[in-house]
Every structure is written in C-alpha cells, then in structure tokens.
Chains A and B, each alone.
Chain A
C-alpha cells in the first residue's frame, strides 16, 4: 500500500515536470507577452527594456532552469498581467470554481441516481421513458447554449434568479464562499445546474444500466426468495453493486468539471479559474498558465487516488496491489 502510494506520487511529479516543460516550449513558440501588450507609443528601447526585465531575452533552457529553481523554493513567478504571484491569482479564484464543481457533483448524484433507479427498476412505465429521452438532451446539448437558455428563462423572462456573479459571500479561512449565504446560493443555482446537466445524464444512464443488469443476478433472486424487503434489496444489494462505475465517472468527472467549467463560468460571469486560464493563454501569461495546469494536474492525481481508495471500501475484492 505504501509503495503503491509512493509510486503514485513519483508519477505525479514526473507529469508535473513534463507539463511545465511543454508549457515553456509551447508559449515560447508563439512569442512573448510584451509584443502583445506593449503600448503602441513605446519605441524599440522601451520594448527591449521590458523584454529583458522579464527575462525573455534569455535562451529558453535558461528561462526554464530559473523557473525550476524558483519553483523548488515555492515561487512560480509573478503574473505579467496581475503583477502578483501567479499562485495567489489562482487561489483567489479557486474557491469559486471548487464550490461550483462540488455543487454540480452533489446535484448530479442527488438527481441522477434516484432517476436512474426509477428508470432501471420500472423500464416500462412512461416516466422512465421520459427520463431516458430527456437524459439524451442532457449530454447532447452544448452547455453554452443551455446556459443562455436558463438565463433567458429564469432571469430575463421570469426574473426569479440572478445570472451573474457570486452574490453575497462569507469569508472562511481567508477564502470567499457563496454557498453559506442565501443570496450566494441563489446566484449559484443556475450555473451549478448548467454545469451538472451533463453529469446528471451520465450518472442517470449508468445507474439505470447497472440496475437492470443487477436485477437479473443470482444474489438478487436469492435475496428476493429469502423474503428481504424490496427497500433493502434496492437500497443495499443493488445500489452497492452498481456504485463502482458511478463513483469512477463522478470522481474522474470532477477533475474534468473543474477544468472545463470555463464555458459555464463565462456565461454566468462566475469569478472562477476557467475564465482566467483562457485570458492568460490569450496574453501568454506564462506563470499563470503553469500554475493553473500544475493545480489541475495535482487535483487529477488526488482524485484518482481517492477513487482508487473508495473502490476498496465499496468492493472488498479490489486490492491496491504493489504492482498497480
């Protein structure tokens, strides 16, 4: 188990190293932020000063070594646009993205699993057919369009819910959270729903497929014959056995939700990291790009770890082998 963990951590470190090298090479191919942002009133001298002050006149390998040296001391560099440490810039916005992603995850489980169970247990009734048809829309409609439709319906036409920003927030541990206030929750509802639609559909369909498969297995038949109550059969024996694919999708999808929250964040003017990374790429703000990707890689590694660990809890047959 310990060796398995160490091996995982080593892998993560190598991924981080490769990723930073790729970012450096990629950004360098395109150019540097000075040429994109400098005032058209600047002459060659000012441009040259700016370029050398930021170190872009050094060869790429030297820039990369300087970065590595500073990174080992915990300094990823100052953003060229925000003029503050890139990690701070990310951390200011990360809570907003995290709470949105968690809210979407909760919605997907709370809505997806019950509906999937209904559709799996009673495949013939009309409600199940409606659920299955709507779920196709859930993962085929572009979230950008759905987001705008939600805004049109709930904000513009009905006027029930706000569509921009985080609303009122409460500061906990130096970070701003909106799920702790009523106003914040109202602001969060539409973006969280929009972000979760795809996941709801996925969870729903997985649950349904798992349920209809499990219902025909020997142990369910046995449980029925034994006279167990239907609630216990579904709630324990069915649910527990269909959870592994659901946990995998929800867990691994969580990293994806954070990484691809950009569309939802843009449409709802949600001050998270998604919009930040697009803006940073546009102006080649390398420290922020690097810091952001490092964070995403770390999140993915941690989630994979948690997913693997949760398998052992859900299914005693799963062992985390030393060769894994």
Chain B
C-alpha cells in the first residue's frame, strides 16, 4: 500500500482503534546521503534542512505520491472570498511535549517561516501570498491574501508547523532539540551533526501508530560507503543507490532494490534571446551573428537528434526515463499528447535545411559535474548524437555547480543542461518562474534562463494562476505546456532521473517520485 494512502486511511481511523494497532516490533537504521545541517524546519528549502522534518513535523496538508493534497493538520480548506481562505484544523492533536495543537501554532509557524533573514534559501516564497492570519477559534483560521491566490494551500502546505509555545526561538534552539518539537510520527531523541540522528515513535500521532519504535538515521555521504554499510548490515535502508552498483546489489541475497521515476527533470536550456550567442559558431567554428537557436525549426531538429532511449538505457542502465515535457503523469498540467521526441536524424536534417542551415552550425554544450548523477556522461552522449546530425560540437564543457549555476543564470552559455525537481501538485509555479517572460517588476520569469517569451503562453499561465477551480487550472496549464514544448520547443526535455533505494531482509521501501527518504516510507516485512 502506498504511504500516503496509509496515512489518509489511518487519519480516518477512530482513535479508539489504538488497541488493534500492530505491536512495535522493530527498530530501523537508515543510511542517508544528504547530511542534515539544521533541525530548524523554517530555515531553508534545501533537503539539508527539511529532509528529516517530514518525520518530526506535519504540515497543514500532506502531498501524496500522486503529488496532490491530502488533509494533514488541516482537515478542510475553502476560499470564502477572493482574498480569504478558511481552514479547519484537526482536533485533538498534540505536540511531542504534550502541548495542544491550535490555530495559534499556524499563525506562529507561517510568520516564522517568512522571517528568516539570514537564510540564502529562505522559505519566504511559500508564505509570500499571506497578508494576515486571523485566528477565528482554536480550530479555525482565516488567511487573507494580498492577491487572489488559488494556490495558497499548495504553498503554505509546505510549511512545517512548530509549537507557538516556544515563542521567539532561533535555529540553535532547534538544533539543541529544545524547540524541535512537532506533531509528526517520530520524536527527536538526539542529533549529532554530520553523523546520526535518533528518533522514537510518537504513539499518539494522529495518523496512527508509527511502524518502528526507534529509528536511527546515519548520514553517509559517500555512495560506496553507503553500499558497504548496507552489505555489512550496519544499516537497513540506503537511499541514492549509485547506478553502477544496482546490478551488483540485485545479485546479493537479502538485498532488494526499489526504484521509481522521480520528478527530477534534466533538460537542455537554449539561448533564445542573444543574436550573438556566446557559444554558437558557424560550421567552421567562426563567430555567427545570427543565432540559429532562435529558430523553432532548429530547436525541433536538435530534439529529434537526441536519442533519449539510448541515453536512459546505456548511460543510466534504465534508471532514467525519456522526457517529453516538464510535468510528470498525474501532475496538474501534464499533457498526454506530449510524448518524448523519437530519434529521427533524417527529419532533423530536413528541418535544419528548411531553417537555412543545411551544413549545420557550431555549438558548445555546458553542464555541471557535481549536481546530478551522470550528467557529464549524458551530455557527452548527446553531443555525439547532435554531431551525427551535422552540427559541429565545438566542445562539451562541464564545471562545478557553484561556478556553473552563476554563469548559467547570467546567460553566459548557449546550450546547457539543467535539473529541476517540481513536486508541486501542478506546474503553475514552475511555468511562472521558469518560462514566463523575464520581468523583474512583475516578479515573473525569475529563472527563465533561456529567456523564452511568448505572450500567448504568458496569458495562459497568468489565467491559471488566478483560477480557483482545480480542473480548469490544470487544463490551462496543459494548454500552456503544449505551447511551451509542443509548439515552441523552448527547452529540450531529455530525461527524468529515477530515485533508487535498497533495503535489507525484513524491510521494504515505498519508492517515491518526490525522492523522500523518511522513515514513513520504510515498512517492516
């Protein structure tokens, strides 16, 4: 059974059924690749800050494996007018220290999440729409927004709720464990930065009895060390199994692999704005004063030159899936008609000739070496495929992410690989920030690195952002994506990475597309 279904069902179970809950039998030791740098769930949106938070804290809502919203601390929510949402809260919920959970904690947490000035990756965007939180009674809050915000619950649903009783606390109070008190299925026992954290079951969790009495999370950054720890039985579960070890582990007795396509999309950004694109040349390597990438036929030709299946089969040993759009199936805005382009060099050559480049042109591809697994290998394969179509590849240049991200965002490359994990219920924010016309004043298109611009697309996304009806919103987003990829090929989606876990005998794991390694995804067999 899926974790979220279990959670949803468990939530409906009357608390009196506790007598029938399964006995707490086992302890669990997990080996996790991401270190934990803070226990303060409001400090950063990075997994180094919130990976463990899903076990310690709850949000207003829970995002299921289908990426949609399910009730968690909020049991229902509805807009009462354009600028106000009313949220009903779950009764009889208690924090780990016994304090009662009430509407005040919502007010407190939303405010705290929006006021972390020292964070380079603040949670502020999630609460930016909130104008005022009105506590109606213990179990009802009304949230006033600055502008009509249909996506309010998607956004504030990501904020973890902590107890207002601690008042003005800072990150150190969370790290020491004093304020790291949530309502989640596990309680914090201890945390040693860089090494391990220990959790214990919260038997009074509103979602039912957690499955393990004691959970130890060990932070093992090195992938070989993680695999060795699993094989030597020092841990029961590991995440981020390196693809080169998957076949070996499959052959080991008592080890099971759990893999699922994830929301992590790798795509190729193309420079759509500069006439003198920095890394575009003619087919003999001389500078070119028109930019062929601005021609949609060239972009479509490039897409047809990439043999996505060959990449996912050979570079990733099938631990990746060809991508044809930005959304995954089930996500709002997914379009059934957008399938990954098939490898078709003949059609590509025709398109290139039509665009006026029968002899091709020259291109340098860029990527980051240390962000996603095997990106450098994948982009080298792509370079050879593109070269086979008659385009001269001047170089493939891969750099450390710290250098790469700054240069890519400044627009110093012409064609470059980028990764994006959009685990939201729908693609509206991804489309708004990633592809709407870059406009500082309007606050849209902030990360539109290729500088794609299409008024029709902008309008559709704008309408979707204001649409309260979910079905209608998803339909608008679908239409927008069909323009973005189907008509304009503004970026070239290449593949979705798989997320892979391995477990030892006696344990199983819910491979999930959100790439979460929380204790709730582990089950005893």
Q: Interface residues, chain A, CB within 8 Å of chain B?
A: 30-47, 49-50, 53-54, 78, 80-84, 89, 92-93, 148, 151-152, 155-156, 159, 162-166, 176, 266-269, 271-272, 275-276, 279, 281-284
B121 at interface, CB cutoff 8 A: yes
Across-interface contacts of B443 in A (CB, < 8 A): 43-45
Taking a contact as CB atoms closer than 8 A, the residue among A42, A47, A81 that contacts B37 in the complex is: A81
Answer whether A162 and B193 are a contact pair too, CB < 8 Å, given A46-B122, A50-B120.
Answer: no
Task: Name B141-159 residues within 8 Å CB distance of A.
Answer: none
The yes or no answer to B171 lying at the interface (CB within 8 A) is yes
Q: A155 and B232: CB pair below 8 A?
A: yes
Chain B residues closer than 8 Å to A271, beta-carbon distance:
192-195, 219
- Whether B225 pairs with A267 at a CB distance below 8 angstroms is yes
Residue among B121, B196, B224, B440 with most chain A CB within 10 A? B121
Measured CB to CB, the nearest residue on chain A to B220 is: A269
Query: Could you list 9 further interchain pairs (A-B, Cβ under 8 angstroms) beyond the known A30-B406, A42-B124, A272-B194?
Result: A31-B406, A39-B122, A42-B433, A46-B128, A81-B38, A81-B48, A83-B43, A155-B232, A176-B192
**Of all chain A residues, which has the CB nearest B224?**
A148
* Bound Cα distance from A46 to B401, whole angstroms: 22
Pairwise interchain contact B44-A37, C-beta atoms closer than 8 A? yes
Residues of B within 8 A of A80 (CB): 118-120
Interface string of B395-406 (1 = CB under 8 A from A): 000001111011
Residues of chain B lying within 8 A (CB to CB) of residue A155: 228-229, 232, 234
Among the interface residues A81, A151, A152, which one has the most CB atoms of the partner chain B within 10 A? Answer: A81
Q: Is A42 a contact partner of B125 (Cβ separation < 8 A)? A: yes
- The 4 A-B pairs with the shortest beta carbon distances in the complex, nearest first, are A31-B406, A271-B194, A271-B195, A43-B443
Q: In whole angstroms, what is the CA distance A155 to B230 when docked?
A: 10
Q: Is the CB of A36 within 8 A of B193?
A: no
User: Interface residues of B, CB < 8 Å — how many?
Assistant: 62
Give CA–CA (A30, B46) in the complex, Å: 20
CB distance from A183 to the nearest CB of B (A): 13
Q: Is B126 an interface residue (CB 8 A)?
A: yes
A100 CB, min distance to chain B CBs, angstroms? 13
Q: A275 to chain B: which residues have CB within 8 Å?
A: 194, 221
A43 touches B433 (CB 8 A): yes
Q: Are A84 and B120 in contact (CB under 8 A)?
A: no
> A-facing mask of B219-245, CB < 8 A → 1, else 0?
111101100110111110000000000
- A contact residues around B120 at 8 Å (CB): 32-34, 36-38, 50, 54, 80-81
Most A CB contacts (10 A, CB to CB) among B43, B45, B125, B403 go to B125
Bound Cα distance from A156 to B224, whole angstroms = 12
Report B's interface with A, CB cutoff 8 A: 31, 35, 37-38, 40, 43-46, 48, 117-126, 128, 170-172, 175, 192-196, 218-222, 224-225, 228-229, 231-235, 370, 400-403, 405-406, 409, 420, 429-430, 433-434, 440, 443-444, 446-447
Bound-state Cα–Cα, A89 to B444, Å: 37
B485 CB to nearest A CB, Å: 18
Given contacts A30-B403, A31-B406, A275-B194, whether A151 and B446 have CB atoms under 8 Å apart is no
Is the pair B234, A163 in contact by a Cβ cutoff of 8 Å? yes
**If A33-B120, A43-B446, A282-B400 touch, does A266 touch B43 (CB 8 Å cutoff)?**
no
Cβ B221 vs Cβ A266 within 8 A? yes
**CB contact under 8 A between A50 and B119, given known A30-B406, A44-B443:** yes
Q: Is the Cβ of B405 less than 8 Å from the Cβ of A36?
A: yes
Q: What B residues does A159 contact at CB under 8 A? A: 232-233
Q: Using CB atoms, name the residue of chain A closest to B229.
A: A164
Taking a contact as CB atoms under 8 Å apart, the answer to whether A36 and B196 are in contact is no
Are A268 and B194 neighbours in the complex by a CB distance under 8 Å? no
List residues of chain A with CB within 8 A of the CB of B225: 148, 151, 163-164, 266-269
Which B residues lie within 8 Å of A54 (CB)?
A: 118, 120
Bound-state CA distance A163–B126 (Å) is 40
Assembly CA distance A114 to B94 (angstroms): 64
